[in-house]
A and B are shown apart, each in its own frame.
Chain A
């Protein structure tokens, strides 16, 4: 649940999602769910010429299982809060 909560904090920020099929998409994080499925708005495909079929796609839903990376803005996170949350999670129930 840690990463779900973490991504919830990032809703509204611009992120770049790199998929396992090498497609990379930049957009505003609209929502995320427990499977880390991602909905992006106002997307811009990195290397658009390689993916002409994506031209008219404005918003998209990305299945969590196909995500390789989520690239975040450098000021997108408070590292200390993340550290604390990770330690708490690692301590177990």
Chain B
């Protein structure tokens, strides 16, 4: 993201147009942060104000407030501009408390671990 000269201003991947807007930032670890962009630089380091971590497990979701966040650019996957006129999430999704979503996360993790261990036990059969 270079600082564009006057001749480049029509073709610029600058995040300047996203300043002071509510954004969705996807991180490499799978987290989805929402917040207002206050600052950025050429590495896509980003400052989000009023950031919250939107945790989604199946049809359940919870926004965990984080406050003022500085995100190192190497962790950024995508920065999306949220259209305020559209629903942020499908209508069937249910907002739950932080405790509830943590329970759901643990259940999902246990299910994945169980699937993984079962697969390992079946591997010796060499069915493929």
Contact = CB atoms under 8 A, between A and B. Distances in A.
**Are A and B physically bound partners?**
yes
The bracket for how many chain A residues form the interface is: 20 to 34
Contacts of A21: 26, 28, 30, 77
Contacts of A25: 78
B18 interface: yes
B56 interface: yes
B89 A53 contact: yes
Contacts of B56: 52-53
Nearest to A53: B32
A8 B32 CA distance: 30
B9 to A, nearest CB: 10
Nearest to A34: B2
B65 interface: no
A37 B24 contact: no
Nearest to B88: A56
Interface of A: 8, 11, 19, 21, 23, 25, 31-35, 37-39, 52-63, 65-66
21 contacts: A11-B11, A21-B26, A21-B28, A23-B78, A31-B12, A33-B2, A52-B89, A53-B89, A55-B88, A55-B89, A56-B83, A57-B82, A57-B83, A59-B81, A60-B78, A61-B44, A62-B77, A62-B78, A63-B73, A65-B74, A66-B28
Interface of B: 1-2, 11-13, 15, 18, 24, 26, 28, 30, 32, 44, 54, 56, 73-74, 76-84, 86-90, 93
